Structure 1
Amino acid sequence: MRFAKPIDLFQKLLESNKIAEQRLLGLDVGNRYVGLAISDPDNKIASPLSVLVRKKSNIVQMAMDIQTLVKEFSLIGLVVGYPLALQGTANPQAVQVKVFVEELHRTGQLDGLSYTYWDERFTSKSVEALLKPLDMHPVQFKTIVDKFAAVGILQGYLDHVHRNMKASEQESND
């Protein structure tokens, strides 16, 4: 796995999509679960996929699960939610996210896959606010929150890069 700046990851995606449809996987890394979301083949819409149980003892299994998704969905990269404080600086949870990504990298299962970090402020809180009135079982509630937080992360990234591409195209046409 190798880090890429957000726009560089999308440029790689655009270049590879000329050959074959490739997608991105969004990750919401929590203490107990990792929510997953996937982009559509056109990389414009994020959809919930699943949740992986996160334990220190199962990092290799998680990497293998992600590798299975890489093959199944022709994934080219990961968009990993990165928790920032209100001032835009990294918060303590951000250290855990980086450790998780480093552990995935050390497994060697995801070599050749690029990743980038994306601001995940308020993704879980906004999903929790929507689901709270539904009075769900706590485990079901948490897994749905994690999946849809991953959707928020990935959709935020996709919207951002598409807006920037449109603005760049308009500037070059002017």
Structure 2
Amino acid sequence: MMRYMKPLSLFQDLLKSNALGRGRFLGLDVGDKYVGLAVSDPENKIATPLSVLLRKKSNIDLMATDFQSLISEFSLVCFVVGCPFDRNYNSPDAAQVKIFVDDLCKTGKLEGLRYTYWNESFTSKNVELLLRPLKLHPVESKTILDKFAAVGILQGYLDYVNRHEVNINVDDNAEKT
């Protein structure tokens, strides 16, 4: 079964188990029709756009298989799933993200994979504003938007945990002296 962990706990757990040295993170921007994907670099500092998967209720097994391939290809150790956090935590958008993750869990194909949710508020809007002056074809624009929204989600998470890693290491060193 896939296992949910709080954002900082996930990173600390990966740090303790030395999984960070062996694997990367995958960022997911889950939408109604597409799932944008971004992957971290081997040092888990920088997010890069990867691809977009078509999302249908009927193809969740195929998506799980795609994720298995990505886990193998990129040595992925966890997923960072964008979820809109606002005052109404039970918003329809947040609910559909959680349903997607639950459906992935039910496939049984991603055993032992850890994941966390990260605030995706405004990631798509920010990318949209950057793309507008480029006057791209709507289909091309949507694909780029989904991938770069996933980059925004993953990069936000990486920046957060890497700032905290410095604090963790400083605290550890202070205790040793």
TM range (shorter): over 0.9
Secondary structure in 1 aligned to 2:110? coil
Distance 2:158 2:88 in 1: 20
The 5 A counterparts of 1:101-120 are 101-120=101-120
Partner of 1:27: 28
Secondary structure in 1 aligned to 2:162? helix
- The answer (yes or no) to whether the contact 2:37–2:146 under 8 Å persists in 1 is yes
Partner of 1:148: 148
Name the CA shift for 1:41/1:136 in 2 (closer, same or farther; >3 Å).
same
Identity %: 60
Partner of 1:122: 122
Q: For residue 140 of structure 1, what is the amino acid of its counterpart?
A: E
- State the shift of 1:19 in Å: 8.5
Alignment deviations for residues 3-60 of structure 1 (CA, whole Å, 9 cap, x no partner) = 1111122123324446852011000000000000001100000000000000111110
Name the CA shift for 1:164/1:20 in 2 (closer, same or farther; >3 Å).
closer
Distance 1:129 1:19 in 2: 33
- State the shift of 1:171 in Å: 4.2
What TM-score do the two structures reach when normalised by structure 1? Answer: 0.93
Distance 1:11 1:21 in 2: 15
Query: Which consecutive unaligned segments of at least 5 residues does structure 2 have?
Result: none
Q: For residue 126 of structure 1, what is the amino acid of its counterpart?
A: N
Query: Which consecutive unaligned segments of at least 5 residues does structure 1 have?
Result: none
Alignment deviations for residues 113-161 of structure 1 (CA, whole Å, 9 cap, x no partner) = 0000000010000000000111111111011000000000000001001
What TM-score do the two structures reach when normalised by structure 2? Answer: 0.91
Pair 1:48 & 2:49 matched: yes
Name the CA shift for 1:143/1:18 in 2 (closer, same or farther; >3 Å).
closer
